[in-house]
Structure 1
C-alpha cells in the first residue's frame, strides 16, 4: 500500500468509525421499533449537542482529516491512467459528495438542533434530527463506496501484475525453447 492510498484509507476509516458511533443514535431515530418517542428525541438531542459543542481541537481534527482525504485522492488522481480515471475519479466523486452532504445537511441540522433561532419550533428540531440521521447514512454509503473502489483498484493492480508476470514467464519459456531447438 502506498502512502497516497493510506492518506485516503485512514480518513475514510476514521469517519466511518465516527459515523458508526452516531449510528447508535441514528438507527433508533430512523427505524426504532417504538417509533420516534420523546426519549429517543431527547437522546438524539443530547448526543448531537455534545457532538456540536466539542472542543475546537476535535473539530479541527475532523476538518483536517477531511482535507487529508481530499489531498490523498487528488494526489492519486494526478497519475492520469485508466485506473486513476475509473477508481480514483469515482472515489473523488463519492468523497466530494460525502463532504457536500456534511456541509449542506449535517452542519445546518446540528445548528438547528443545538442553537435554534426563535422561529424554529420543536417539530422543526425533530425534523432536523431525522434529516441529520438520514444524511449520516448517505455519508456512510459514500465512504463505503470509496473503500470498495480503493480495494477494487488494488485488486486490479495485483491482477494486472500477476498477468504480466505470467506472460513474461511464458515469453522466457518460449525463448528458451527456441534457443534449445536451434
Structure 2
C-alpha cells in the first residue's frame, strides 16, 4: 500500500511540477493567443521571443533537471503498472498514454520552437542553412512566419497543460475509486463481524 502511494506521488509530483512551469508561461501565452490589445500584439511577441531565447540559453543543469523529473514520472508509472490489477490498468494506462502524449508535444513542438526562435530563422531558408546545427535543415520547408511560430509555441504550452491536467484527473479518479472500494470492504467486514457476534449470542 505504501509503495503504491509513493509511486502515485512519483507521478503526481512531476505532473504538478510541469504545470507550475507552464503556469509561469501563461502571461506570455495569454497575450499572444487570446488578447487583442489596442496597441497591437507586437510587444507581446517580442516579450515571448526574448523569454524563449533566455530559457534556451540556460545552463545545461536546467535541462538535466527537467529530464530527471520526466524520468521520475515514467518510473512512477512503471512501478504502478508492475503486477497491476484491472483498476490500475484502466487509470494508470490512460494516464501513461496522456503523459507520453505530453512528452511528444514537448519534443516535437516546444523543443523545436526553442531552436527555431533562438536561431531566428522562421520562414527564411537562407538563414536556416546559415544556422547549421541550430536548426533541422530537413524541415526547412516547414518554417513559418515569426508570429505564427510563436503562436504555435504558445498553443503547444496550452495543449501540454491540458494533457497534464488530464493525468491529474485520472490519478484523482483512481484515488477516489480506491478509497470507495476500501470503505465498501470495511463496511462489509463490519457487517460480517456483527452477524457473527449476533450468531454467538443466540447460541
For the aligned pair, the TM-score class normalised by the smaller chain equals over 0.9
User: Matched residues in 2 for 1:80 and 1:34: separation?
Assistant: 52
User: Matched residues in 2 for 1:61 and 1:74: separation?
Assistant: 20
Paired residues in the alignment total 182
User: Matched residues in 2 for 1:50 and 1:3: separation?
Assistant: 35
Task: Provide the secondary structure at the position in 2 that maps to 1:33.
Answer: coil
Task: Provide the secondary structure at the position in 1 that maps to 2:145.
Answer: helix
User: Matched residues in 2 for 1:58 and 1:28: separation?
Assistant: 26
Contact 1:87 1:149 in 2 (8 A): yes
Given the alignment, which residue of 21, 24, 29 partners 1:21?
24
Given the alignment, which residue of 161, 172, 175 partners 1:154?
175
Q: Runs of 4+ in structure 1 displaced over 4 angstroms?
A: 120-123
Shift of 1:73: 1.1
* More divergent stretch after superposition (70-79 vs 100-109): 70-79
Shift of 1:116: 3.4
* Structure 2 residue aligned with 1:138: 159
Given the alignment, which residue of 94, 104, 124 partners 2:98?
94
* More divergent stretch after superposition (118-127 vs 55-64): 118-127
Shift of 1:123: 5.9
* Structure 2 residue aligned with 1:39: 43
Contact 1:29 1:130 in 2 (8 A): yes
| Unaligned residue ranges in structure 2 (runs of 5+) | 129-142
Q: TM-score, normalised by structure 2?
A: 0.84
Contact 1:112 1:125 in 2 (8 A): no
Shift of 1:45: 0.4
Contact 1:74 1:92 in 2 (8 A): no
Equivalences for residues 66-145 of structure 1 within 5 A = 66-117=70-121, 118-119=124-125, 124-145=145-166
* Structure 2 residue aligned with 1:11: 14
| Unaligned residue ranges in structure 1 (runs of 5+) | none
User: Matched residues in 1 for 2:146 and 2:57: separation?
Assistant: 17
Task: Provide the secondary structure at the position in 2 that maps to 1:32.
Answer: coil
Contact 2:31 2:41 in 1 (8 A): no
Deviations 1:16-64, CA, capped at 9 Å, x for gaps:
0000001110010001132862111101101111111111011111111
